[in-house]
Structure 1
């Protein structure tokens, strides 16, 4: 499928029953892509679509259907699955290529990879049903899953920084995800194309809003003039441990934690980049 590594295509099915399962799964994938009604998709999933597991066919899981909904931005189908099955729709499905039980949060990574901001918002709302705050945060900070799956070993926050998807990043940070990736955000800022620099800058700004304290980064000290011109004197001095955070940054921190919409609706002169 689109979120797995291309090397997996080398795995060919030998059993007629297994090939039939793959045929029905592909038919379901096409049905989601063709935007068939939700009720029809659910009829297909529960009665016509099968996966091959442990030598036997089984019904297609809601968590697997949610991955298809993410790829094709089927917000109506994703909303149904999350409302009907809640956090069980976010469980990592079993990997069909190595037959192991996947771990981590593949749905979060797929949402970030395809920049599905609306569905990601539904997913983080569903996570509130987890009960304990620590469990929710652990899920938000988990990595993508099996080693041969695309984006494996990366958290959703790290992936959002790498791809310069600021809206996804802010959603995750507001929900309590760990603000990792400052070094990657700085590297992205200087290496990306001019057309992507605005998004890279916003990712850096959002990370700064949620950092409890800046880590010591050698790259800032090694190229102080370069980074001072990019970040501004106040931010550069704070990241180097030479000064407290800028006053506007401190003020915006409280606002950012109250919800992602609070920051995005601010006038331009109060946006995070204006503290530089």
Structure 2
């Protein structure tokens, strides 16, 4: 529990060995937070700091160190761990409360929550090394079923929609994540104020680019006038299955699926909002 103060650790641990592990674990957490050089952090992880697990000390795993790097945006350390350990650095951690291990990778969701776009980009690139393809998809679309884990039950894509993180969402979708969360995106569109509307709208637009076909959402048919004004006539009619997708939407879909940089570099009059 690296977020506890050293003075609090003594109250939680019974054995001297466990207390020492907690102190060294906290020092490692602080070292990552202070953005110490990669070689210093790896020396600490391999030789000096320990994690208390099942009644005995052990070294920190690369996946545990990567979570620290994500939280504190230590990009150099995150890239080193991903380059050195590849997909194994994204392995899901066992919950210390119930000993279950969720599907997917918690690292993707943590990167989305903290909006670590650069580190998330390195993660999804590392997933290209996954074999077979189904295992890569499990990382992208998996979610934790453990109630003790933050953001339990949500995929990284769903979390990106919920938090209005369009840059994170684009990275996930262009690397093959399932475009879930459309209903949540529409709900966010209703509830958002003017300060966040742009990010909410962009997340919705991105989901539309990667949907294999028009969705079947009852809420669109229940309040057609409301959604027609929010989405625009062409997009609304396509989403209700009453018309083909707008030509610009089709063109942008091809462009978006070729890579995240392609959409970001378009002039403003060709950005996502312009098809409405």
Query: Fold-level match, TM-score > 0.5?
Result: yes
1:112 and 2:112 correspond? yes
Moved more, 44-53 or 227-236: 44-53
Q: Give the alignment's Cα RMSD to 1 decimal.
A: 1.8
- Partner residue in 2 for 1:57: 57
Structure 1 stretches of 5 or more lacking a match?
4-8
- Partner residue in 2 for 1:82: 82
Shift of 1:169: 0.3
- Partner residue in 1 for 2:6: none
Q: TM-score w.r.t. structure 1 length?
A: 0.93
Partner SS state of residue 87, structure 1: helix
The answer as to whether partners of 1:28 and 1:44 remain within 8 angstroms in 2 is yes
The answer as to whether partners of 1:216 and 1:239 remain within 8 angstroms in 2 is yes
- Partner residue in 1 for 2:240: 240
Partner SS state of residue 52, structure 2: strand
Aligned partners of 2:204 and 2:273: how far apart in 1? 9
1:253 and 2:263 correspond? no
The equivalences for 1:68-79 within 5 A come to: 68-79=68-79
The answer as to whether partners of 1:106 and 1:145 remain within 8 angstroms in 2 is no
The answer as to whether partners of 2:166 and 2:199 remain within 8 angstroms in 1 is yes
Aligned partners of 2:15 and 2:213: how far apart in 1? 56
Structure 2 stretches of 5 or more lacking a match?
4-8
1:171 and 2:181 correspond? no
Shift of 1:18: 2.0
Q: TM-score w.r.t. structure 2 length?
A: 0.93
Shift of 1:137: 1.5
1:137 and 2:137 correspond? yes
- Partner residue in 2 for 1:263: 263
